[in-house]
Amino acid sequence: MKHRDTELTSLSLDDYLDILNLAIHLGDQEWQADIIRTLHHRTEPGYREPAKPGKCTEQELWQCVDQINDRMLALYKELKSTNDQETQRKLLDQMWELKIARVEVFRKICSIYQ
């Protein structure tokens, strides 16, 4: 089940920078460009910071989960299509980092209900 919305999310600047750092570390240029476009939008006139800066909504957190899952699926497809041991190791390392990031997002989701 996907919880996508076409509206821009209201993650805090730190959240976007953390996600951008992950995208850079994983070498996902498309994801990097998307995050940078979103950050650029935040600098446009008329942009208002969300009412709860630093706090993500449940919907935004689920969007992060969806993005992570999409990236993991792409990495899995790459992994299945290569026989190069070094490439496979790098892809598996990236997948583990995404799994850890996904766990952190799930923790934030759980904290909403506590």
Burial of 96 (0-12, 13-18, 19+ CB in 10 A): exposed
Percent of the chain residues past pLDDT 90, beyond the cut: 13
At 96, the pLDDT band (50, 70, 90 cuts) reads: confident
DSSP string covering 8-43: PP---HHHHHHHHHHHHHHT-HHHHHHHHHHHHHHT
At 7, the pLDDT band (50, 70, 90 cuts) reads: very low
- Amino acid 80: pLDDT: 94
In the predicted model, what is the mean pLDDT of the chain? 77
pLDDT in tens, 18-47: 887 788 778 888 887 787 777 777 666 665
Higher pLDDT, 62 or 17: 62
Average pLDDT value for residue range 104-111: 85
